[in-house]
Amino acid sequence: MLDGFATREVTLQGVTRTVHRRGNGPGVLVMHEIPGITPEVARFARTVADAGFTVEMPELFGVLSKPISGGYVASQMLRACISREFHVLAAHGASPITDWLRALARALHEEIGGKGIGAIGMCLTGNFALALMMEPALMAPVLSQPSLPFGFGKERRAALHVTPEQLACLKKRAAEGAGVLGLRFTHDPLCPPERFETLRRELGDGFEGIEIDSGPGNAHGISRMAHSVVAADLVDETGHPTREAVDRVLGLFTERL
């Protein structure tokens, strides 16, 4: 599944994680979704690398290459809920694991150089690119179906999973040209529309939201339960809105980096 990727152990802040790398060019950090680095996530990372970028993809949870199943997703979701590294209900505070990811982003840019790096999070990691904007090197943040905090209650449905200080920073950086790209399906229960409404209100023109119709009778027959825009629910066909979303992500990385 990871043919063409180089694998190594990376120790930062006293924590060692496995990181997979592929490609050449400006750096892009790919933060995989629940339940882990699945074949579909690996396909997306390969697409980014083959478009002219150096992709680094750390293992954050799950079993490498294990296919998606309901039981696998549920088990990894439970592990995340009880992990000290993920604060899945925190409306106004980022998960502690973002500190390690910031260090990885910083190290990637220091090694490769250039204008900056990109980062994309998905599902449980979807909001993490916001916290990573504290790093000046992050110039192209992408949120794919950002699902934290879990949407229990009105406040959490609209929250961004960042601290007030991080929000102030990302508003400043977005206004300076490091705007945020967000992707979601319109009927995704894990990524409610209120979250994108908050991003539009807080960032203004610094937020670009792509919301793909997954309602009844939609033109492309997308399931009402569709969730994973660039990986599990991607239909890699010209003209399909998920393929167009991937193309926009690649375009953003090219424009900024």
Q: Are 47 and 246 in contact (CB under 8 A)?
A: yes
Would you say residue 155 lies in a domain? Answer: yes
CA dist 113 and 257 (Å) reads 10
Task: Give tens-digit pLDDT for 124-150.
Answer: 999 999 999 999 999 999 999 999 999
- Residue 151: predicted pLDDT: 87
In a domain, 20, yes or no: yes
Q: Is residue 224 one of the residues assigned to a domain?
A: yes
Considering the domain boundaries, does residue 49 fall inside one?
yes
Instruction: Identify whether 1 is part of a domain.
Output: no
> How many structural domains are present in the chain?
1
Whether 93 maps to a domain, the answer reads: yes
Q: Which domain holds residue 29?
A: 6-256
Q: pLDDT category, 26, cuts 50, 70, 90?
A: very high
pLDDT given at position 68: 85
Which of 20-24, 132-136, 150-154 is predicted with the least confidence, judged by mean pLDDT? 150-154
Percent of the chain with pLDDT over 90: 88
The pLDDT of residue 226 is 97
> Does residue 122 fall inside a structural domain?
yes
Question: Is pLDDT of 65 > 80?
Answer: no
CATH of the domain at 124: 3.40.50.1820
State the average pLDDT over residues 52-73. Answer: 91
pLDDT of residue 1: 77
Question: Look-up: residue for tokens 């992709």?
Answer: 55
Q: How far apart are CA 214 and CA 224, in angstroms?
A: 5
